[in-house]
């Protein structure tokens, strides 16, 4: 992997952005992941660990102002702009960049930064949702449902204050969505017309996760010669195994399917960066189908996040 330096180093960035949605607690995920042993899990695999701290708190203050129906655009845009710079710098240095959200709006910054450093990069986006709404189509006005559309140039120029810096950086042939099962009506039409390869849970049920991952890589990286960025929303997994998240959708990826995705990407030797988003330690009580206590649900979700990072960095059963 020419774009990764030796010795291998994971550069961690905390991005406790919660303003892309409306539930408190997702901003605490970086703290919980660190306390639960993220560093130890990474170092046990032979990787170096470099913690770059969190985004400046002043970037995350809210003015509670909606613009064109979109909530906290200025604040999220400013945070993502700084995140882009931070990610680009670390990626240019050849490190594996691991960004801990926060909600999925942070992908506007992380992927912009990765593509600035590694313009040929491709994206595997694991999510229950399409994240392909625009300010005009979004029913909620929450930016965490819009980042993929924004990265592909579907935001009208000047429509969102705070995002003046954002430039279209992804093309349909370099991104695949995996695990989708909850899509808004207008968003569905945009996705159908976009040219993006979308692998819903129907495709995973029909073909199996092994075939789906092969198809996703073939669609986005047919020569297997481009670096890969994994943007992993924990709600892509079924809420019975990842209950501490804000926008749940039943019928998601199983424990082993989630790990298989990460293991397969690690085996390519091309995975160079990753987002882990939407873990919310404070809202496990909103879902009661697991038979677990609130604390058990939170611990299970945080531990799963760390396990998926480990699989993406090369951990195997044997």
CATH code, domain carrying 29: 3.40.800.10
- pLDDT value, residue 287: 54
Burial level of 193, CB count in 10 A (0-12/13-18/19+)?
exposed
- The verdict on whether 275 is a catalytic residue reads no
Is 70 within a domain?
Answer: yes
- Residue whose C-alpha is closest to residue 280's, from 233, 229, 231: 233
Which of these is catalytic: 54, 131, 203, 238? 131
- pLDDT value, residue 156: 86
- The verdict on whether 144 is a catalytic residue reads yes
Rounded to an integer, the average pLDDT of 131-142 is: 94
Is 318 within a domain?
Answer: no
- Residue 291's pLDDT band, with cuts at 50, 70 and 90, is confident
Residue 201 sits in which domain range?
9-312
pLDDT of 135 > 80? The answer is: yes
Q: Which of 54-63, 144-153, 179-188, 272-281 has the lowest mean pLDDT?
A: 54-63
Which of these is catalytic: 27, 75, 84, 129? 129
Q: How far apart are CA 220 and CA 241, in angstroms?
A: 29
Is 71 within a domain?
Answer: yes
C-alpha neighbours within 13 Å on the C-beta side of residue 60: 22
pLDDT of 268 > 90? The answer is: yes
Say which residue, 67 or 193, is predicted with more confidence: 193
- The verdict on whether 285 is a catalytic residue reads no
- The verdict on whether 235 is a catalytic residue reads yes
Is 3 within a domain?
Answer: no
SS3 content of the chain, % helix, strand, coil (to 5): 40, 20, 40
pLDDT of 61 > 70? The answer is: no
Rounded to an integer, the average pLDDT of 231-250 is: 96
The DSSP call for residue 235 is G
Overall domain count for the chain: 1
pTM, 2 dp: 0.95
Q: How far apart are CA 30 and CA 279, in angstroms?
A: 9
- Residue 5's pLDDT band, with cuts at 50, 70 and 90, is very low
pLDDT of 239 > 90? The answer is: yes
- pLDDT value, residue 284: 64
pLDDT of 89 > 90? The answer is: yes
Rounded to an integer, the average pLDDT of 33-43 is: 98
Terminal CA-CA length for the chain: 23
- The verdict on whether 259 is a catalytic residue reads no
Say which residue, 105 or 69, is predicted with more confidence: 105
- pLDDT value, residue 1: 43
Which of these is catalytic: 144, 203, 238, 275? 144
Which of these is catalytic: 75, 103, 127, 263? 127
| Residue 31, number of CB atoms within 10 A of its CB | 14
Q: How far apart are CA 303 and CA 75, in angstroms?
A: 30
Is 274 within a domain?
Answer: yes
| Residue 154, number of CB atoms within 10 A of its CB | 18
- pLDDT value, residue 62: 65
Is 262 within a domain?
Answer: yes
- The verdict on whether 85 is a catalytic residue reads no
- The verdict on whether 129 is a catalytic residue reads yes
Helix or strand or coil: residue 51?
strand
Q: Where are the beta strands (DSSP E) in 83-226?
A: 96-101, 122-126, 175-180, 197-200
- pLDDT value, residue 294: 84
- Residue 288's pLDDT band, with cuts at 50, 70 and 90, is low
Q: What is the dihedral of CA 221, 223, 228, 232, to 10 degrees?
A: 40
- What does the mean pLDDT of the chain come to? 93
Is 300 within a domain?
Answer: yes
Q: Which of 2-11, 69-78, 79-88, 262-271 has the lowest mean pLDDT?
A: 2-11
Rounded to an integer, the average pLDDT of 43-70 is: 81
| Residue 36 structure tokens | 């639960």
Which of these is catalytic: 104, 142, 229, 259? 104
Is 80 within a domain?
Answer: yes
- The verdict on whether 104 is a catalytic residue reads yes
- Taking only the tens place, the pLDDT of each residue in 176-231 is 999 999 999 999 999 999 999 999 999 999 999 999 999 999 999 999 999 999 99
- pLDDT value, residue 158: 76
Residue percentage of the chain with pLDDT more than 70? 92
């Amino acid at each position: 992997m020419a774009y990764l330096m030796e010795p291998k180093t994971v550069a961690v960035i905390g991005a406790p952005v919660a303003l892309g949605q409306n539930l408190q607690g997702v901003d605490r995920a970086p703290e919980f992941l660190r306390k639960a042993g993220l560093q130890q899990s990474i170092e046990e695999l032979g990787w170096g660990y470099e913690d770059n701290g969190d985004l400046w708190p002043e970037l995350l203050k809210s003015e509670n102002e909606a613009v064109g129906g979109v909530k906290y655009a200025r604040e999220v845009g400013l945070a993502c702009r700084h995140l882009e710079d931070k990610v680009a710098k670390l990626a240019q240095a050849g490190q594996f960049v691991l960004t801990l959200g926060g909600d999925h709006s942070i992908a506007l910054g992380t992927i912009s930064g990765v593509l600035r450093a590694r313009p040929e990069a491709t994206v595997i986006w694991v999510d229950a949702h399409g994240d392909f709404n625009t300010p005009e189509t979004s029913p909620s006005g929450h930016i965490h449902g819009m980042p993929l559309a924004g990265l592909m140039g579907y935001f009208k120029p000047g429509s969102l204050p705070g995002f003046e810096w954002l430039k279209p950086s992804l093309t349909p042939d370099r991104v695949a969505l995996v695990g989708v099962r909850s899509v808004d009506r207008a968003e569905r039409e945009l996705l159908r017309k976009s040219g993006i390869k979308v692998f819903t849970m129907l495709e995973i049920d029909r073909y199996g996760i092994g075939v789906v991952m092969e198809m996703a890589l073939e669609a986005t990286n047919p020569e297997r010669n481009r670096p890969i960025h994994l943007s992993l929303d924990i709600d892509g997994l079924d809420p019975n195994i990842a209950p501490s998240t804000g926008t749940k959708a039943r019928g998601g990826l199983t424990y082993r399917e989630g790990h298989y995705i990460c293991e397969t990407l690690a085996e390519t030797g091309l995975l160079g960066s990753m987002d882990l988003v939407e873990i919310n330690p404070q809202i496990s009580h909103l879902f009661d189908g697991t038979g677990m206590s609130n604390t058990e649900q939170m611990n299970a979700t945080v531990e799963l996040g760390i396990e998926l990072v480990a699989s993406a960095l090369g951990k195997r059963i044997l």
